[in-house]
Amino acid sequence: MKSVTCKNRSQFLNTIKNNGMKKVIVLICVCLCFESIFGKSDTGKTNEWPANFFKTLKTKDNAEGISCTITTPDSSVHFIGEKYGGGIVFYVYDKGRYGLIAAVADQSTESQPWYNGAFKQTGATRDGIGEGAKNTSLIIAAQSADNKEGTFVAKLCADYSVTVNGITYDDWYLPSKAELNLLFLQKDVVSGLSYLYYWSSTEIDNNEAWMQNFTFDEQLNVSKDHKLFVRAIRAF
């Protein structure tokens, strides 16, 4: 999905025409003269355009009063192995509209620990698609003060940023246990993965977290001070 803010009729028309939209999700809409189409505030409502929409829009002489933010559906379909969004797609769902992307290389040339010098429970116990992002935030919040100069895998992922074709992608995170297994299943598609051990962001307790063996299909609990490899991912 992408959001576009339109401040006048001209911008609104161009946005619709450029995206070939048949529907939009109206997030904020203050229309002084389009009340018959949207209503004064149809937050979150999906509107199918009436057949005479453009004609109606163009004939409103006082239409410059429109000010709204719209979200247009992203009709792109993506596939496993595609170079997209700053990395390589390794998992898709909803017919390829959404999924997960792996960075093109590990976030460190050397293996790194899960903890930042102190054993503690961070609350990063989530597992599943998208849960790695929440885990990563919890780990960083809980561990950053332990060693101001420390390097740990969640921070390496969160600090990663890459710019491709003028677009910067900086929302990377340490994959959850489930997401890491999905990455393992595509180890021959995603470039540069080691056939050794990678950290997940899913914690077990004060002392241990989950990791994935990339030689064999197994996930194991290991001490957080062990040094393993790290590969950042992001969602789309």
- pLDDT tens column, 85-101: 999 999 999 999 999 99
Closest listed residue to residue 115, CA positions, set 148, 157, 173, 154: 154
Residue type, 13: L
Per-residue confidence (pLDDT) for residue 107, from 0 to 100: 96
Say if residues 139 and 159 touch (Cβ distance below 8 Å).
no
Per-residue pLDDT tens digits for 147-157? 999 999 999 99
Q: Report pLDDT digits (tens) over 174-221.
A: 999 999 999 999 999 999 998 899 999 999 999 999 999 999 889 999
The answer to whether 28 and 43 have CB atoms below 8 angstroms apart is yes
Closest to 153 (Cα-Cα) out of 110, 121, 120:
110
Q: Which pLDDT score, from 0 to 100, does residue 208 have? A: 98
The pLDDT > 90 percentage for the chain reads 66
Tell me the pTM: 0.70
Q: Could you tell me which residues are beta bridge partners of residue 221?
A: 210
- How confident is residue 5, by pLDDT bands cut at 50, 70 and 90? low
For residue 216, what pLDDT is reported?
87
Question: What pLDDT does 138 receive?
Answer: 98
Least confident of 46-50, 74-78, 102-106, 166-170: 46-50
**What CA–CA distance (Å, rounded) separates 31 from 50?**
17
pLDDT at position 171 = 97
Q: Quickly tell me which residue has 């050794």 as its tokens.
A: 196
- The domain spans of the chain are 2-72, 83-235
pLDDT digits (tens, 9 = 90+) for 21-59: 433 433 333 333 343 334 333 333 334 344 334 333 433
